[in-house]
């Protein structure tokens, strides 16, 4: 390496230095930094609370996994509003659970008495068939919390014979197609399915190279 013609400068060498050791030396995390990081990690933990008959709440880790034949999850404000308008607008459903989480864009609590405009995540059970569950997730789940959300929610359910349906929305501007988006109906519906799903699909499949992101993808 030369700063001007004729001068040769020896570059610093990292030979024999492990990348993690180098990063640790550069960071030099103090005990106070470690304590703050631990407190933030603890605060970002997700809790799933299920309502029992007595009206109290219990941690999702308590008890055996319950039977669930169909689990419908609406993610985002538009999908949650769709459930509220066309499915939950009856006395056929009861609230049976809630998710507590905290991140940069979301603050929730374990109360189930909320306004429709509040960011929240609630579970409903069909009274006539308790194995059918709905989830209204209008709160933001951060990238580092998505696996934990899935692990704790699905950890409460038996997986045998479980059919999961995800409802989500995205801006039309993100939809990749060769035709003009101005000619597309608004709104329009596309589907993705796993190879295990053998029933007829209610709408055309989502074309490549379109993808699903965030919690619906997880």
pLDDT digits 0-9 by tens, 22-78: 566 556 778 777 777 777 777 788 888 887 543 444 444 446 788 899 999 999 989
Buried b or exposed e, range 159-181, using 16+ CB within 10 angstroms = eeeeebebbbbbeeeeeeeeeee
In a domain, 93, yes or no: yes
CA distances from 152 to 91, 188, 207 (A): 28, 32, 31
Question: Is 90 exceeded by the pLDDT of residue 134?
Answer: yes
* C-alpha dist (Å) from residue 168 to 2, 45, 75, 108, 217: 56, 24, 5, 21, 10
d(CA 156, CA 49): 10
Q: Looking at residue 114, what is its pLDDT?
A: 52
Task: Check residues 57 and 190 and name the one with the higher pLDDT.
Answer: 190
- Mean pLDDT, the chain, as a whole number? 78
Q: Which domain holds residue 78?
A: 65-170
pLDDT band for position 167 (cuts 50, 70, 90) = very high
- Count how many domains the chain has: 1
Cα distance between residue 136 and residue 117, in whole Å: 13
Residue pair 120/108 in contact by the 8 Å Cβ criterion: yes
Helix (H, G, I), strand (E, B) or coil at 189: coil
In a domain, 77, yes or no: yes
Residues 74-91: what's their mean pLDDT? 88
Please report whether residue 56 resides in a domain: no
> Is position 87 within any domain?
yes
Q: What's the start-to-end Cα distance of the chain, in Å? A: 47
Q: Average pLDDT in the 153-168 region?
A: 90
Could you tell me which of 150, 151, 156, 155 has the C-alpha nearest to residue 137? 150
Neighbours of 145 (CB within 10 A): 19
Bridge partners of 191, per DSSP, are 205
In a domain, 149, yes or no: yes
pTM of this prediction exceeds 0.75 = no
pLDDT score at 8: 45
Asked if the structure places residue 183 within a domain, the reply is no
**Better-scored residue on pLDDT, 117 or 73:** 73
- Residue 159, domain member (yes or no): yes
Taking residue 111's Cβ as centre, other Cβ atoms within 10 Å add up to 11
Give the per-residue pLDDT at 168.
93
Q: Is residue 156 part of a domain?
A: yes
- High-pLDDT (> 90) share of the chain, %: 21
Q: Which of 123, 74, 79, 64 is nearest to 98 (CA)?
A: 123
């Amino acid at each position: 390496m030369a700063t001007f013609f004729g001068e040769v400068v020896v570059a610093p060498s990292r030979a024999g230095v492990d990348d993690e050791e180098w990063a640790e030396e550069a960071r030099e995390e103090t005990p106070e930094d470690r304590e703050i990081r631990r407190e933030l990690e603890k605060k970002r933990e997700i809790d799933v609370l299920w309502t029992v008959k007595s009206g109290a709440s219990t941690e999702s880790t308590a008890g055996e996994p319950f039977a669930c034949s169909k689990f419908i999850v609406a993610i985002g404000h538009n999908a949650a509003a769709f459930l509220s308008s066309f499915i939950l607008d009856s006395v056929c459903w009861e609230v049976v659970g809630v998710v507590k989480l905290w991140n940069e864009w979301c603050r929730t609590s374990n109360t189930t008495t909320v306004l429709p405009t509040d960011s929240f995540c609630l579970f409903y059970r069909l009274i006539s068939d308790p194995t059918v569950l709905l989830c209204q997730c209008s709160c933001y789940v951060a990238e580092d919390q998505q696996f934990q959300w899935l692990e704790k929610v699905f950890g409460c359910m038996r997986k045998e014979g479980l059919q999961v349906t995800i409802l989500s929305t995205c801006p039309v501007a993100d939809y990749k197609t060769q035709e003009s988006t101005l000619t597309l109906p608004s709104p329009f519906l596309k589907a993705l399915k796993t190879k295990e799903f053998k029933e007829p699909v209610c709408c055309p499949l989502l074309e490549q190279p379109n993808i699903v992101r965030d919690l619906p993808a997880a």
